[in-house]
Amino acid sequence: MRIIAGNFRGTALASLGSGDTGAHLRPTTDRVRESIFNLLINGGYGDPVTDARVLDLFAGTGALGFEALSRGAAHVLFVDDGIKARALIRENTDILRAIGQTKLFRRDATKMGPVNGAPYNLVFLDPPYGKAMGQTALTACLEGGWLTDDALCIWEENARQIAPSGFTMLDARKYGDTWVHILETTA
């Protein structure tokens, strides 16, 4: 895995090998990550990345959040409750020297509770596939005040999903085995 574009372009991230199924780590491939950012930048959403406050749920290696940081995001909060995932995020933070722009929470993304600080306007979530955890996490973030009124949420799953209450589905595209959904919070 490597950073595709921006300030950290070409930088290799910590190696996971073929994945860690025991830890439910299934990193977003470089190709899908590139497609996601191309869609965000060229899909009529303005520039949702520059100066964004990014929430990376089920962060795994943190590749999506680090890609956003490389492309000009102001801050990224990584949320994952896995030991291996948190170790990889710490290692990648060190590789990119991004300590001041990132924060790591050990938390179950489906049980976010109330936000303590400013809300986030760009959200990535790549939950374990087929367990309805994405809908639960989005609802928890909305109820806890984690999201701005116009937050864009990019949700990866293995099947097409329906927007939970409080969200509008803007786009859904399939890349290989992965469905990428773009949702927006509704006021």
pLDDT of amino acid 182:
96
pLDDT of amino acid 183:
97
Name the pTM for this structure.
Answer: 0.91
pLDDT of amino acid 18:
46
DSSP string, the chain: -B--SSTTTTPBPPP-TT-BGGGTB-PPPHHHHHHHHHHHHHTTS--SSTT-EEEEET-TT-HHHHHHHHTT-SEEEEE---HHHHHHHHHHHHHHT-GGGEEEE---TT---S-SS--EEEEEE-PPTTSSHHHHHHHHHHHTT-EEEEEEEEEEESS---PPTTEEEEEEEEETTEEEEEEEE--
Q: How many domains does the chain have?
A: 1
| Residue numbers of the chain with a pLDDT score lower than 50 | 18-20, 22-23
Expressed as residue numbers, the domain containing 67 is 29-185
pLDDT of amino acid 25:
62
> Is 11 part of any domain?
no
- CATH number for 159: 3.40.50.150
